[in-house]
Structure 1
Amino acid sequence: MTPASVPASAPASAAAPRHLPGFSAPAVGFEQPFAMLEACHERVQRTLGLLGRLREHVRRQGVDHDARQAARDVLRYFDIAAPLHHQDEELHVFPLLLAQATPEVRALVTRLQQDHVAMTADWAAARAGLQALLDENATGFTPQDEAALDRFARRYGAHIAAEEGVAYPAAAALLPPAALAAMGREMAARRGAA
């Protein structure tokens, strides 16, 4: 991990409203809320990729400036941007599906809601090891940190696939254009965007 590779891999935030990590000028706007949700998933996956590279760097080279910067980037993304994304789903996608979707989709939504609760707990455990890297005397991840980071990263794959493959298309089919526009405006407002 070189200084040049960390910024290129890290979530972009310089152009973001309120400098939210992982929120830069995307190819889609809030007028396409489901495309925005999928773009958030791409940023989750990029940040998890950065986390994987960070872990490998720490194993091979120890804790240095680059490792600390990468840890800060991962912490910022999952502390700030990821909770906003989950809030978008909890407010705009899941209630609609629980009210109007098929029983199979409702069961999936219940699982996705449980995932969000578990992800919050997984992140609380995973962030402790990342936070510890910021200490000048840090030497690396403990076995407990490694297990927590594995658990946190593993849960996201199936969760994202279920949302993009089933939940988002089902919700998008139920929402009229005016409701989609309102959803996009509310998502933007939560992030301080115009």
Structure 2
Amino acid sequence: MVTSALLHAGPAVGFDQPFEMLLACHERVQRSLELLLRLQAHAATHGADEQARDAARDVLRYFDLAGPKHHEDEERHVLPRLRATGLGALADRLAADHAEMGRQWAALRTALEALRDGSGQGPDAAACQAYAALYAGHMAAEEGEAFPAAAWQLDAATLAAMGTEMAARRR
């Protein structure tokens, strides 16, 4: 069974804590990836039934809307700070990951749109697994190294400005 009821639930973190917000987004990414993998397995067996169409809608909504905003947050607020602290190679890797995620998402999106519309059988299992693996490695690098390095020694005013900008782009 594919369920998406908890897809948009998440920790109650606000933009006044921008790095905590980025981490909360990772939790939502993980739930969306898990839904994608369950959806792929379900659709392979059951085709474009109502559950599959609903789940495809939810996965599309997340990775079309929230995912790109999250990547933009990182590119505006994390990657420049990494470069400024001598971690340019890490910043470049994360930026390359974002580009590759965009390419992989474009291919998955086509299959998910067809499934959502009832005319397809869903995305390829290997493509879904590759996308999830890319994201897993990316999030691990951010959580383990990038976010702590970017947040280190930021003052309250800088954090507030970062949170304000992130919130404004979502209005």
In 2, Cα distance between equivalents of 1:41 and 1:161: 10
Equivalent pair of 2:82/2:150 in contact (CA under 8 Å):
yes
Task: Tell me which residue corresponds to 1:11.
Answer: 8
In 2, Cα distance between equivalents of 1:56 and 1:69: 15
Task: Tell me which residue corresponds to 1:118.
Answer: 100
In 1, Cα distance between equivalents of 2:122 and 2:62: 19
- Which string of whole-angstrom CA distances, capped at 9 and with x for unpartnered residues, describes residues 50-72 of structure 1? 11111121123222011000000
Which of 148, 152, 161 does residue 182 from structure 1 map onto?
Answer: 161
In 1, Cα distance between equivalents of 2:13 and 2:161: 16
1:128 Cα deviation (Å)? Answer: 1.1
Equivalent pair of 2:53/2:118 in contact (CA under 8 Å):
no
Task: Tell me which residue corresponds to 1:165.
Answer: 144
Alignment of 1:133-172 (within 5 A): 133-138=115-120, 140-141=121-122, 145-172=124-151
Equivalent pair of 2:41/2:125 in contact (CA under 8 Å):
no
1:148 Cα deviation (Å)? Answer: 2.6
**SS at 2:96 equivalent:** helix
In 1, Cα distance between equivalents of 2:82 and 2:119: 49
**SS at 1:87 equivalent:** helix
Alignment of 1:33-182 (within 5 A): 33-99=18-84, 101-102=85-86, 105-138=87-120, 140-141=121-122, 145-182=124-161
1:75 Cα deviation (Å)? Answer: 0.3
Q: Which moved more, 1:162-171 or 1:51-60?
A: 51-60
User: Which amino acid in structure 2 is aligned with residue 33 of structure 1?
Assistant: P
Q: Please, which runs of 5 or more residues in structure 1 have no aligned partner?
A: 13-23
**SS at 1:6 equivalent:** coil
In 1, Cα distance between equivalents of 2:58 and 2:119: 19
CA RMSD of aligned residues (A): 1.6
In 1, Cα distance between equivalents of 2:99 and 2:36: 21
User: Which amino acid in structure 2 is aligned with residue 190 of structure 1?
Assistant: R
Tell me the number of residue pairs that the alignment of Structure 1 and Structure 2 aligns: 171
In 1, Cα distance between equivalents of 2:14 and 2:8: 17
Identity %: 56
- Which string of whole-angstrom CA distances, capped at 9 and with x for unpartnered residues, describes residues 9-51 of structure 1? x334xxxxxxxxxxx6x42111110000000000000000111
In 2, Cα distance between equivalents of 1:73 and 1:93: 27
Equivalent pair of 1:11/1:73 in contact (CA under 8 Å):
no
